[in-house]
Structure 1
């Protein structure tokens, strides 16, 4: 019985996805709420490089690597979007930059990231 339990534990831990984005400084990204410090803008190319690693992660995993989103949007059919501002938006003592850039992560009805797009308005 001990061997079966050990085998199950090994199997569970070996199937977990790595939550590391090798090209992104996650702590710097997370601390730059609304893009006010410019850290997110500096990491724009790194996010583009790691885009495929973000796809397939669930909402909790996204929050673990990128932090809480600046905005959440809900759409029909249980689709959800996380919005991370890249250029300063709603920053105290700082004007909003134009054009505005933000990272949008679309989740499907099962809660997995399906689309990662960087928008520029």
Structure 2
């Protein structure tokens, strides 16, 4: 009985790891990924569409989020193992050190289980 439980658990983990990112229409993910740190200004023009799809990004895994949006511009981990994944939307001192402040960004928070629970534009 114990072997069956272990085998079933391993099978579920493998199946969950093999799922692909959800299909979200109406957003150019390729263009988003090409504008690293929002320094080219492409992401700034995509903000309206980003706000429209933001609810669809909640509840997906952080791995799937990164498949869609690309490598995060910043990652943080707090003491409770919550992960914060940040993507810049507009240029700021992350592109030009002489700029006064960081650019506008969207910050996703993910639980210790890796599920996106919040998407806040700052």
**CA contact under 8 A between 2:20 and 2:64: conserved in structure 1?**
no
Which residue number corresponds to residue 91 of structure 1? 95
1:60 to 50, 58, 63: 63
Cα–Cα, structure 1 residues 95 and 33, in superposed 2: closer, same or farther, change >3 Å? farther
Taking only aligned residues, the RMSD between alpha carbons, in angstroms, comes to 2.2
1:115 to 112, 115, 118: 118
TM-score (norm 1): 0.76
**CA contact under 8 A between 1:88 and 1:97: conserved in structure 2?**
no
Residues 31-86 of structure 1: CA deviation (Å, up to 9, x unaligned)? 10000111111111111111111011111101110001000011121100001011
Give the distance between the partners of 2:56 and 2:79, measured in 1 at CA.
26
Which residue number corresponds to residue 101 of structure 1? 104
Shift of 1:100: 2.5
**CA contact under 8 A between 1:88 and 1:95: conserved in structure 2?**
no
Structure 2 unaligned spans of 5+: 1-14
Tell me the SS of whatever aligns to 1:100: coil
* Count of residues in Structure 1 that have an aligned counterpart in Structure 2: 104
TM-score (norm 2): 0.75
Give the distance between the partners of 2:68 and 2:99, measured in 1 at CA.
25
Cα–Cα, structure 1 residues 68 and 77, in superposed 2: closer, same or farther, change >3 Å? same
